A and B are shown apart, each in its own frame.
Chain A
Amino acid sequence: MSSSRLVVGVDVGGTYTDVFVLDETTGNLKVAKVPSTVSDQSQGFIAGIAEGAGDFSDISTVVHGTTVGTNALLERKGAKTGIITTRGFRDVLEMRRRDRPTTWGLWGMFEPVVTRDCRLEIDERTLTDGTVRTEVDLDQVRIAARQLLSEGCTAVCIFFINGYANSHNELLAAQAVREIWPNPHVTAATEILPEIREFERCSTATLNAYLQPVVANYLEKLKKGLRNEGASADVMIVQSNGGVMNVDTAKLMPVRTALSGPAAGVIAAQRIAGAAGFNNVITCDMGGTSFDVSLISNGESALAAQTEIDFGLVVRAPMIEISTIGAGGGSIAHVDKGGLLEVGPESAGSDPGPVAYGLGNHRPTVTDANIVLGRINADRPIGGKIERLDLEAAKSAIEKEIAKPLGISAMDAAEAIIRIANAKMAGAIRLISIERGHDPKQFAAMPFGGGGSLHTGALMNEIGLAAAIVPRYPGITSAIGCVVADMRMDLVQTVNTLLDDLDFDAMRGLMDRIASDLEATLKQSEAVLTAIERQFEFDMLYLGQTHTIAVSAASDPADLTLQSLAKSFEITYLDAYGRLLEGVKMRVVNLRVAVIGKRPRLDLSGFTPPATKTTEQCLTGQRKIWHGGIEHTADVYERLDLPAGSTIEGPALAEQPDATIFIDPGLKAETDQYGNLIITRQEQSDG
């Protein structure tokens, strides 16, 4: 074993698996990109690490942002799952909160992930104050479990009404099921979310069970794959809230990975853009199948308490707010029956991928259009899976599928595909910025993912953004995020007591105990931590209300008193609503504990470009490109060699192994000290 100590970030996307390697002893950085292996993502995972890290025995930690959970939810490809629940309540999951998908229009549809025949009821009942009115009938529970097994279920969720108030019956049932269930995929709802609101708890826990076999099997495969290569590395997984957890926790709580990959990208963007002086950023992650946008305002990304992955698929766990639409490099363009050009949501992914890959897809994609327009270099495909892109095949597919039916030229058809894709992406950005009252002029776009930086200029112009900041390695941003993200463990416990009646000694003990448990889990991993932070919050309200506000408490439980908590509540309430309610009692609903293990700050000076070449020396040639209906000659630069302070003017292309940056006519790109390309308008140049 050499003296290296490598931390490896791995992001598996629909098209590519990205790897970022930090050598903690030398500070050296390395990146790699290999095609994803869709049928078994763990193969691409291992291949990527082999390419990035070389010697597996040098690896101390692998941090992984995964889309396995996300994809299983979106494509409804989780395990066949059953629910065992209180008699009278098997339809909670399907009845939701009696909502509909859109305010206007009554054409909603909903398919729950657990079909009605696999939701079984047993006798038990707990009341709202925690009293067990009917003891759980464990014989019925066992019969139900066996029935679900015979139906072919491989995961099960046990969800009892009012379990948050007293989990006695639910945990007894879970124990009984675990004794006969042939695998560990048994979720008790209160173990995931001991919080009042039956639908939200049931949905979150059921989705957890639904994901358990898929995610656990995948993580097992990764560990085995690493062991086979001689790595004893610790594996950690990025959670939707942007913090990381260890594999054992991830196997128990896979629902926390629902937005794992995208969250890692936002964390990296926040760090990189902040260092470059941009605090208002819209991140645009364009992968093979989807386009994810997220807003960072004043350096902070918003956390949502709950997310609806799709109508009725509610996950209640803190998550970085990310919006997704189906537009990526692999999105397929077609002309519909009405003669209208459509792009996506169907995608060719990376396998078979765009027509130009020559792997069996014959329908043109966004990437094919970019190749035909000269924006992607056919002789230099990113990722290394393909030797050369088949420009002619891409062009003839566009000719046949798009240009002929529309009666236009192939070049016009290719540009139309890009315009439609851009308009879809611009719409997604408008939704999270303009439509929420943010002025786009105050924001910079930060593209990442392999294809995003081909479209940034068009998005800048269409939405009126001030600038774009293309990070040094746009194709591997999520992998970088894996390496820079802090470790984090969360727990929420429903308390539901009047503030005046709260036993503060017991509460301080509970806070200490939960935090110590979380910290112990955190310390199971060997990752280097520079500090450990404890955060305590109480969800509180005035007696009579049903919505809580989050009140921060001191980081040391010993400082918690009735007076300090009442004061904190009033300050927070006043800030939120502008007036206090005199003489109304306060209630403490939940205790929230987060333990954060701070990871070493990644020194971004590792990204500083070498000053070995002048801008002119980075010019590798010229290429004919098509833009705005006419042909241009664009200078092509070797992006990673561009020295800090250099400026190039569009139309131009900057190429690097994991991405191509298109600088539209009228725009210019300046390289900053961390190797970012800052794209602005030419006319603003000296203003």
Chain B
Amino acid sequence: MIDPVTLAILKGRLEQIVDEMDATLFRSAFNPIIAEAHDASHGFYDAAGGDTLVQGKSGLPIFVGIMAFAVKAVIGKAASDGNLADGDVYIFNDPYAGGSHLSDFRLVKPLFRNGQVFCYLASVGHWHDVGGNVPGNYNPVATECFQEGMLIPPVKLFTAGRYNQDIVDILSANSRLPGSLYGDLNGQINALDLGTKRLVELLDEFGDAVVLEALSMLKDRASKLMRSHIESLPDGVVSAEDFLDNDGIVDAPLKIALDLKISGATMEMDFSRSSPACRGPVNISKSTTIAACYVALKHLFGDVPANAGVLEPVSFVIDDASILAATAPKPVGGYTETILRLIDVVFQAVAQIAPERTNGCAYGTINALSIAGYRSNGSRWVMFSFFGGGHGGHPNGDGLSHGNAPISTATIPPLEILEAAYPIMFTQWALRPDSGGDGKHRGGLGAIYEIELLEEHADAFLFGERGRFAPPGVLGGCSGALNRFTYDTGNGPKSPPMASKMVGIKLERGQRVRLETPGGGGYGPPEERSDEARARDIELGYVTGKLQ
């Protein structure tokens, strides 16, 4: 039994190593999605089952759950290969074996101690471009994963420490931006090298057995705490439903439904009433569904340590034919939209039994916008970024304006960095008045981003949601504003037929695209909002008082 002080030190040391791995990749990566938006993550995973042991504070929350499945996939592949060796590193992006979408490349490395695997280290990062029909890979009209980019199963990037250049050559040949790919790949290798070095130092200092025991104690602590939280909720079933606008192919809403059953210290999340798998790219794999629920639970019960213990008292019911259980080759490129909706239904369900823990829904779409073309010198450029919106009102006050998505801690790249890197110019970067849902505590405001092209020609692509179904409030709070995307190619502003999804908008120099993102949903009934708060909203222009 480890004493509490040693346990606290080890917990700190392990998290510190993972944080340092995150920081190493953020600083040395080439593409701003990793370097600025921190769409990456690192961790240590169980040698036998791949469960998350340690996760950093700065990595993308949704990857916490997903990475465990990724490591499991490598464990399976290594077992069938039958030749796992010290110095091996696997690389892959297969979304069905380890979640998310093709842009996320994972590197998984076993750490050997005395001839045995002690644990796995893993690094995941969102690469700038991995081929497919749409630069930046958010292809809203994909009907098979093959249109979304190259799919790489777990293969060895390093064999016993030897770098397999052939693999890198294949990857590079399939990307529009091989230079960026090379930089990001090296950044991820840097992070694994550093993590290995630091972890070995730690094991040498404390002993392997002590560290293993500490890891298991930390997991027990998480599951115990989670059980006590669930136990404080009343037994019974509550339900919530929300919708995706469409799948980009068929313009019909898709339902995400949750029946949440509390029974003593355990929780069942039943998604049986959700829509079946769809043609377009908003399907997600079962592992991604579970990872999204993990994120929602961590938001509600923030004091539970971030490891596999969180999910120990939780069971899932997910139909194999569901939109939440996709298998190859169903397209999954827009996975972010579906997991955001999953988190929204968890908040809406929990609001019914624990109003003091929940909040209005956040803006609920990643708004992946890419603009791509060639510079006058012939070089290719791809601007790709995610955009922000409002958070929901909550028990303590109005929602945060211009926050990041609940599945991430990503910051937005500075517009000056985007302008320095690409031939574009922002003509507006502002809060969007009237976008926060009314309520006792108003939802935070979304944003307006307007971009003008400075080169001769370019194509623009958008993958967004909440164009038809606004972010709901809770406990009587109103919805935030809908997502709105317009583009002006010379004949006045137009909107995409699928609301927030569109491919191949042809832009000429001087033409603009404009994104107006949703605010958050309100918390509590509008009648309870104070007169002072309403007067201030008008004075500062958060609310215009004009009819929308």
Contact = CB atoms under 8 A, between A and B. Distances in A.
Interface string B225-268: 00000000000000000000000000000000000000000000
A197 B414 CA distance: 5
A579 B179 contact: no
A383 B447 CA distance: 53
Contacts of B486: none
Interface in A564-587: 576-579, 581, 584
A161 B424 CA distance: 14
Interface stretch (B132-140, B271-279, B396-404): B396-404
Interface in A70-99: 88-92, 94-99
B380 interface: no
Contacts of B541: 116-117
Interface string B13-39: 101110000001011111010011000
Interface string A171-191: 000000000000000000000
B404 A100 contact: yes
10 contacts: A95-B402, A99-B404, A99-B411, A100-B403, A104-B298, A108-B400, A133-B425, A161-B426, A435-B16, A437-B13
A496 B419 CA distance: 13
B409 A103 contact: yes
Contacts of A578: 190, 193-194
A198 interface: yes
Interface residues of B, number: 77
A436 interface: yes
Given A88-B429, A109-B396, A578-B190, A544 B179 contact: yes
Contacts of A581: 182-183, 186
A106 B429 contact: no
A579 B419 contact: no
Interface string B416-446: 1101110001111111000000000000000
A164 interface: yes
Given A434-B9, A496-B420, A107 B394 contact: yes
B186 A109 contact: no
B368 interface: no
**SS class, residues of chain B in contact with chain A:** mixed
B450 interface: yes
B373 to A, nearest CB: 17
Contacts of B26: 547
A434 B414 contact: no
B329 interface: no
A430 B186 CA distance: 34
Contacts, number: 178
B540 interface: yes
B53 interface: no
Given A94-B431, A196-B417, 20 more contacts: A90-B430, A95-B447, A98-B387, A103-B409, A104-B302, A105-B299, A106-B299, A106-B394, A106-B406, A127-B425, A128-B416, A162-B419, A196-B414, A200-B414, A430-B8, A435-B16, A542-B183, A545-B28, A577-B186, A577-B190
Given A95-B431, A97-B412, A545-B29, A584 B5 contact: no
Contacts of A542: 30, 183
Interface residues of A, number: 57
A584 B183 contact: yes
A439 B400 contact: no
Contact of A546 (B397, B417, B425): B417
B187 to A, nearest CB: 8
B413 interface: yes
Interface string A143-171: 00000000000000000011010000000
Contacts of A162: 416, 419
**SS class, residues of chain A in contact with chain B:** loop
B30 A436 contact: no
Contact of A117 (B362, B402, B419, B540): B540
A435 B391 contact: no
Contacts of A164: 416
A199 interface: yes
Q: Which 6 A-B pairs have the closest CB atoms?
A: A98-B388, A104-B302, A437-B16, A98-B412, A97-B411, A435-B12
A25 B190 CA distance: 56
A545 B180 CA distance: 9
A164 B414 CA distance: 13
A398 to B, nearest CB: 30
A646 to B, nearest CB: 32
A620 interface: no
B518 to A, nearest CB: 14
Contact of B414 (A91, A94, A97): A97
B519 to A, nearest CB: 13
Contact of A98 (B193, B194, B403): B403
B392 A106 contact: yes
Contact of A100 (B36, B57, B400): B400
Contacts of B32: 546
A316 B156 CA distance: 42
Given A95-B402, A162-B416, A435-B16, A88 B430 contact: yes
Of A91, A92, A197, most buried by chain B (CB within 10 Å of CB) is: A91
A605 interface: no
A546 B391 contact: no
A88 B402 contact: no
B355 interface: no
Contacts of A133: 425
